[in-house]
Amino acid sequence: MNSIHGAVAALLIILAPISTIASGKKSTSWVISNPEWTPSFEKQYSEFIAGIGKAKKSGDCSTTDQCLRSRVANPRFYNLNPSNLKSIFADCADLPYVLRAYFSWMNGLPFSFPNALLPAKWFSEENQLILAEIQELQRELADAGFFRRRIINSKIKKLRRQLNGGSRKVPDLRYNADGNVIKSKRMIKNGDDINEVLTSVVGSISTASFRTNASANGEGEKFRDTYPVKVDRDAIVPGTILYDPNGHIAVVYEVTKNGKIHLIDAHPDNSLTAITYGEKFSRTSVKIGGGFSNWRPFTYQDSKVRFKKNEELDNYSLEQFQKSQDFSFEGRQMSFYEFVRNRLSLGNLVYNPVLELRELLGELCYDFRERKLSVDKALDSRINLKDHPEKLPENIYGTDGEWETYSTPSRDARLKASIREGRDLVKKMLRLNSEGSSSVEYSGSNLKSDLLSVYEEEVAKCRIPLTLSDNSNLVLDLDQMLGKIYKLSFDPYHCVELRWGIEDESSAYRCQDSEEKLEWYLQEQGLRNTIDRDYSLKMDFGLGELENAEISDVYQEDISILGVLRTE
C-alpha cells in the first residue's frame, strides 16, 4: 500500500461510524452515538444530498433506493448498507424524511417524525371545548357496555361534525386551508430497526406533515421539524426542503452561481426526478408553511429532547411570506421568483440569453424524458387497456390508488408552467437587450435571430422514441412535444398516442381506444388547458358532466417560446 492509498484508507476509517468498523457493514439496529445535530453534521448532510442530486441528474440512478445503493450517488455510505436493508421507497413527501432518516441512522444521530396530525382550526378557543368533550367521551368508551358505546360514538360523531363545520368528513389535511398541528411525533430510540423506521415514515408522512404554521416552534417532542429560512446562499443549500402548498415536495441539491436552484423530487411510482425552481411552485401563507425550509437542529439524550427555537437560528426568517408586491432587489420591484434568483446569484444577475435558452430547452427536454418514463410505467402495467372509471377522482391533482400512481396531471401542469416561465424569460431578455440594459450579456447584432438558431439546434437534439399501439415506432423532437403540450393526456387509461397528443388526423395515429375513452379525452381538454393547479376544486364528474362543468371552461394560454422568436 503506497502512502496515498494509506492516507485515504486511514481517512475512511476516521470517517466511518464506530459501529461499522468491525463488520464493514452498518447494523440495521439504530444506535444514537452522536446525540446532537451539530453544524458539522449539517454540512455533511448537505454534501450527501448534493451527491445524490447530481448523480440523479446525470442518470446514474433513477429511484431513491438506487441512489442510496450507488457508489456514484452515495460514495461515503453505499458500502455500509447491510445485506438485509430492504428496498427503500419514497414519494415526494417521504423523500426528505427518508433521506434524513437514512443519514441519521448511518451517523448515529437522533431522528423524529410526525405520525399524527389534526386540523389547526380544531384548536381555536371555541373548538378546544369540543375537543375536550370528545376526549372525555373517548375515555368513557373503555368501560362502556354495548348500548352505551353506541350512544357515545353517536355523540362523538356529532361533535366532530361541529369541528368540521357540519361536514361528516375530516378535511383533507394535505390541502387544509387553515393548516395542521402535530398531534404526536415519534422519537427514534436506541435499538429501533431502520427497515421498520423507513416503513413507518412512508406510512405516516404526507404533504400534510409540512402544512403547519411556519412561525411555530412546537413544544417538547412535538417540535416542528423544519423552519423557514432567509432567501440567501447561506440558507438555501443542498438539503433545503421546498414545500409547494399544491401538494408537492422537493429537495434542493444545488444552487448555481447565477442563482438557479436545482432540486430532486420523488413520485408515487417510486421514480426520482431532477427539476429546477420556478413559477411551477406556488407560494403560501405563514399558517400553511410552504416555501423553503431547513431541518431544525436538536439534541436527544437520556430520553430528553432539546431543540433550537426559531429565534436561536441564524437563518430563520419569514420574508418568503411577504405580499407579492413587497419584493424588491436593489430598488427594483420584482416577482418573488425573480427576487429569489437575484438574491442567490453571485454578484449582480446578468443574463446570457444564448446560454439561458440552451439551459431552458435542455431542462424541458429532461422533463419530457422523465414524463416518458412515467407514461411507460402506466403502459407497461397495461392500465390503458382497463375500462375507464365512471368518474374522475375528487381532485385529479391530489388522489390515491391507481390514479395517483399512473396519471400525470400535476407533472404536466408543472411542465406547462415551466414553458410559460421560459417564454416570459425570453421576452424579458429581448426587451432588456433592446433597451441596452447591463443585465444582458450579448455581443451579437440580432439577438432574436441568434436565439431562433439556438432553438432550432436544441429542439433537433432532443428526440424521444415512442412505441405506438401497433408496435410501430415514432420519434418526437422537442419542438413537436412543445407544440402538443395542450394535447398530452394525463389520463392513464388512454392509449400511448393520446398520452403524447397524437390525434386521429395524424398519420401516426394507431389508437384502438373505445369511443367512450375518446369522449373522455375530448371532455378533459379544459383540464389539459389548466396550468395553475387548484386542489380545492370538485372534479369527480362523470362522462357527459365534465364538458359543461366550470373546471372545463379554461382557455389555452399562449405559452409558445417559438412564437416569441418568430414575431416581428
- SS3 track for 224-248: CCEEEECCCCCCCCCCCEEEECCCE
Buried b or exposed e, range 39-57, using 16+ CB within 10 angstroms: eebeebbbebbbbbbbbbb
pLDDT of residue 138: 86
Q: Are 498 and 521 in contact (CB under 8 A)?
A: yes
Cα 439 from Cα 465, distance rounded (Å):
39
Handedness of CA 168, 173, 178, 183 (dihedral sign): positive
Q: What are phi and psi of 115, to 5 degrees?
A: -125, 5
String of DSSP letters for 160-184: HHHHTTT-SSPP-TTS-TT-EEEEE
The pLDDT of residue 534 is 86
d(C-alpha 287, C-alpha 223), whole Å:
16
Q: Quick one: cell of 16? A: 466511518
Q: Which residues of 232-248 are buried (b: 16+ CB within 10 A; e: fewer)?
A: eeebbbbbbbbbbbbbb
Q: Which amino acid is located at 404 in the chain?
A: E
What's the start-to-end Cα distance of the chain, in Å?
A: 68
Position 323, amino acid: K
**pLDDT value of position 5:** 40
H/E stretch holding 40 reads: helix 39-57
**Residue 140's pLDDT is what?**
86
Would you state the pLDDT for residue 163?
A: 76
pTM of the model: 0.82
Residues contacting residue 150 through CB under 8 Å, at least 6 positions apart: none
Tens-level pLDDT at each residue, the chain (568 residues): 343 343 333 333 334 444 444 457 999 999 999 999 999 999 999 999 999 999 999 999 999 999 999 999 999 999 999 999 999 999 999 999 999 999 999 999 999 999 999 888 877 777 778 878 888 888 888 888 888 888 888 888 888 788 777 666 667 888 888 899 999 999 999 999 999 999 999 999 999 999 999 999 999 999 999 999 999 999 999 999 999 988 889 999 999 999 999 999 998 888 899 999 998 898 889 999 999 999 999 999 999 999 999 999 999 999 999 988 889 998 889 999 999 999 999 988 999 999 999 999 999 999 999 999 999 999 999 999 999 999 999 999 988 889 989 999 999 999 999 999 999 999 999 999 999 999 999 999 999 999 999 999 999 999 999 999 999 999 999 999 999 999 999 999 999 999 999 988 888 899 999 999 999 999 999 999 999 988 888 999 999 899 999 999 999 999 999 999 998 6
How long, in residues, is the chain?
568
| CA 383 remoteness from chain centre | 24
